[in-house]
Structure 1
Amino acid sequence: MTPKRSPTEIGRFNGRHMTMILIVFFGIIMAVNFTMARLAVTGFSGTVVDNSYVASQNFNSWLNAADAQEKLGWTVQVKRRVDGRLQVEVSDRSGPLSAAKLSAVAVHPLGQKQSVSIDFEPSTQGDFLSSRPLPLGRWQLALTITKAGQSAHILKDLR
């Protein structure tokens, strides 16, 4: 039989209360830490380039190519249509580039989905339509535009 407790003992803070507070506190801390660690490991791989030395050797040529591309003055607008196909408008300072050739690779930014190659066909409105729909989600579109021996490589984010 348990001894009867007095009214002053009922509301007292004791060792059992402190133990429960510590268990709950550290349990929450551990749950948050494990969740954040899992998200960090399964998210971005951390690899930007495979070999940083080789990338540094190509850096100046990348800058020169970017300057030449900027001098072309080509602008690109990408829209996702209701049917999932991509509509791309390419223009320069004088207007739409309807005679250009366009191709793209859609890459998932975190590498969770397989990359998708996309071909484009010119439409009657002077823009380009993808030959097939792109699955929903967040994608980075690496466009290659070629016209009269000149080419441009443009990255666009799709959400």
Structure 2
Amino acid sequence: MATAPDKRVFTGRHMLGVMVGGFGIVIAVNFYMASLAVGGFHGIVVENSYVASQKFNGWLEEAEKSRALGWEAIAARDEAGHVVISTEGVPAGATVSAELRRPIGERDYASLTFTSQADGSFRSVETVSNGRWTMRLTIAAGGKNWTEESELP
């Protein structure tokens, strides 16, 4: 005589285990992802969003004035780690400065000052470490300012 195989019964306790385990995984992943998001945030972008919104149109006007000057600047890093700015349409005697910040990860900031080179380009006095940087470049000449923000290659 053959005996029938044992059939396991799926009970309410089994269902509770599945539900607790499934939701536990979802909650753990959410907490992990939230910690990554908060860890990559560098702090306050603007102190007061209402005040920033009131200044927004002024910022757009400044950007339009910069574009209307017709000046162009191309940034690159040389092998020594200095930033070299090649310009077009910028009058002689211009001064160049830049503010750098890391877009993600480390909270790192740097200010650069530039000296004019014989070929008409500008080279930073300070060196810049490797990695991703966002650069806010400002060129001033003849009472006019040109500003652009871009990623430093």
TM-score normalised according to structure 2 size: 0.77
Identify the residue that residue 118 of structure 1 maps to in structure 2.
112
1:81 aligns with 2:75: no
Structure 2 Cα separation of the partners of residues 90 and 50 of structure 1: 34
Structure 2 Cα separation of the partners of residues 91 and 72 of structure 1: 11
CA contact (8 A) 2:138 2:148 kept: yes
Matches within 5 A, 1:86-105: 86-92=83-89, 99-105=93-99
Q: 1:13 to 1:99 in 2, by over 3 A?
A: farther
Structure 1 Cα separation of the partners of residues 9 and 77 of structure 2: 62
Structure 2 Cα separation of the partners of residues 14 and 53 of structure 1: 57
Structure 2 Cα separation of the partners of residues 42 and 142 of structure 1: 24
Structure 1 moving runs of 4+ over 4 Å: 11-24
Identify the residue that residue 30 of structure 1 maps to in structure 2.
27
CA contact (8 A) 2:96 2:140 kept: yes
Aligned residues between the structures: 150
Structure 1 Cα separation of the partners of residues 128 and 92 of structure 2: 22
Q: 1:37 to 1:126 in 2, by over 3 A?
A: same
Structure 1 gap segments, 5+ residues each: 1-5
Structure 2 gap segments, 5+ residues each: none
Structure 2 Cα separation of the partners of residues 112 and 13 of structure 1: 54
TM-score normalised according to structure 1 size: 0.75
Alignment RMSD = 2.9
Report the identity percentage.
37
2:5 aligns to what SS in structure 1?
helix
Matches within 5 A, 1:1-159: 8-9=5-6, 12=8, 14=10, 21-22=18-19, 24-44=21-41, 47-92=44-89, 99-110=93-104, 112-158=106-152
Structure 1 Cα separation of the partners of residues 32 and 106 of structure 2: 19
CA contact (8 A) 2:112 2:124 kept: yes
What one-letter code is carried by the residue in structure 2 that aligns with 1:74? W
